[in-house]
Amino acid sequence: MVSNCLRIYLFVILSCIAITDVWSLIVKSSPIDCSVTPWSTWRSNGSFGQEMRMRRIMRHPQNGGKPCPHLSETRGTPVCTLSPWSKWSKNFGFGQQTRSRTVLSGMSGAQCGKLDDLRYTGRIPTIQETATNVKDFFLRPTGQTKSTINNNQTEDLTRDLVLILDSSGSIGTDGFILAKEQLSTLVGLLCPIDPFNRRDLFPYQFNQAAMVTYSTHVTTNFYFNTFNTTVSVQNAIKSATYEGSSTNTNKAFDRARVLFQPGTGVRDAARAKREVLILTDGRSNNQTLTLAAVAQLKLVADIYGLMIGTYTQAGKDELTKYVSKPIEQHLFYAQDVQQLKDLLTDLINQQKLEGPNWCKGFTKKLNKKLNKAKRKIRKRLNKLRRKLKPRKKDRGKNL
């Protein structure tokens, strides 16, 4: 009986050993992949604007198993606080509205998300609404620019303005004639009164204009220092010739940028605003080149757009990108050249209604400078009279 039990015991032991050896051979020959823990939560790693997360190895790879993945990751964090979105702006341009927000604290840039938003409402502004926008934001903007002289006091500055007029085939001969006539009228409404009349005693109290027309080719019609009266500038605009070919808008923007370089009569940018107004009825031939040219021009000047005609959605999007921010203060639209004429008629009527208040800010500043100049002249004249007037002692000697 004992011997039988002993035999059974020995059999069980030998069987277990055999199974263990077999399993050991299987394990040794099978690949075992690396195993890692789940990612930890993101935590600051001590560098400004960066976070890190980590994981650990639970089992190293064996027998050619998959290697362990990376064990740490770093990412930038949007270390900024944003204000709430502003209310949507009034309707403008092609029936658009904008809203914005600002960075209240921390870093700025792409990590903070977009700061401007735009939507299409489907309702194009009336001629009267567009006229008000043109008046308030282009013809007589108030307090939009700070001078770097006079203790950085905010004041209405005059401008060096480049006019860009589309003379491509789409606008047509009659449309071009009407467009340049309305453009001529528009610049005559700029502030101060008689906006391009040169005042030699006050070199920054008048506007200057240069002009470019474009189609396949680009023509510089005149430079900033070519004309010194408002009438001569207006007549030169009306004298522009029509080409009627393709639409190389990028070349026009490139030429405008060149006009802000020395040698063209351009003045100190700290004392005269540098602006561009483009009047066009269509998209460019090459959007990529045009938007690249726009980006370069925006580095040296503010761009306004007076758009006419019918556009696809892609066309509206492209032309909206031409203008400077805030977009609602730089983009104006008329559906055709007849509406453009109606727009100018409305502006002329508004000017008549406001009378001397049309350019109130500029007039007040100019009168102040004129009075100051008169006082200086009187002071010098009195000083000269005192020098020329004989003294009492000298009069007695002569007698």
- Other Cβ atoms closer than 10 A to 3: 7
Which one, of 296, 308, 333, lies nearest residue 123 by Cα?
333
Give pLDDT, residue 52: 86
Number of CB atoms found within 10 A of residue 79's CB: 15
Per-residue pLDDT at 170: 93
Q: How far apart are CA 96 and CA 123, in angstroms?
A: 8
List of the chain residues with pLDDT < 70: 1-29, 45-49, 76-79, 106-111, 141-156, 361-376, 389-399
CATH for 123-354 is 3.40.50.410
Nearest to 74 by CA among 106, 48, 113, 42: 42
How far, in Å, CA of 226 to CA of 237, rounded? 12
Please count the CA atoms within 13 angstroms of the CA of 395 that sit on its side-chain side. Answer: 5
Q: Which positions ≥6 away from 387 have C-beta within 8 Å?
A: none
Crossing angle between the packed helical segments 173-188 and 230-238, to the nearest 10 degrees: 170
Helix (H) or strand (E) run with residue 343 in it: helix 337-354
Spatial distance between the Cα atoms of 308 and 339, rounded to a whole number of angstroms: 9
pTM score above 0.75: no
How far are the Cα atoms of 94, 173, 185, 337, 372 from residue 245, in angstroms, in the given order? Answer: 26, 11, 26, 19, 53
List, for residues 86-136, the tens digit of each pLDDT value: 999 999 999 999 999 988 876 666 567 789 999 999 999 999 999 999 999
Query: Exposure pattern of 61-72 as b/e (b: 16+ CB <10 Å)?
Result: eeeeeeebeeee
Residue 301 tokens read as: 């000047």
Residue 79's pLDDT is: 65
The rounded distance, in Å, linking the Cα atoms of 229 and 235 is 10
Nearest to 210 by CA among 196, 197, 189: 196
Q: Are 161 and 209 in contact (CB under 8 A)?
A: yes
Q: What is the pLDDT of residue 203?
A: 83
- Tell me, rounded to whole angstroms, the distance of Cα 314 from its chain centroid: 19
- pLDDT at position 324: 96
How buried is 140 (Cβ within 10 angstroms: 0-12 exposed, 13-18 middle, 19+ buried)?
buried
Long-range contacts of 138-147 (CB under 8 A, 24+ apart): 138/277, 138/304, 138/332, 139/186, 139/189, 139/190, 139/191, 139/347, 140/190, 140/191, 140/358, 140/359, 140/361, 140/362, 141/329, 142/361, 145/273, 147/270, 147/271
Q: Domain map of the chain by residue range?
A: 123-354
What values do phi and psi take at 332, rounded to 5?
A: -130, 150
pLDDT value for 241: 97
pLDDT value for 149: 39
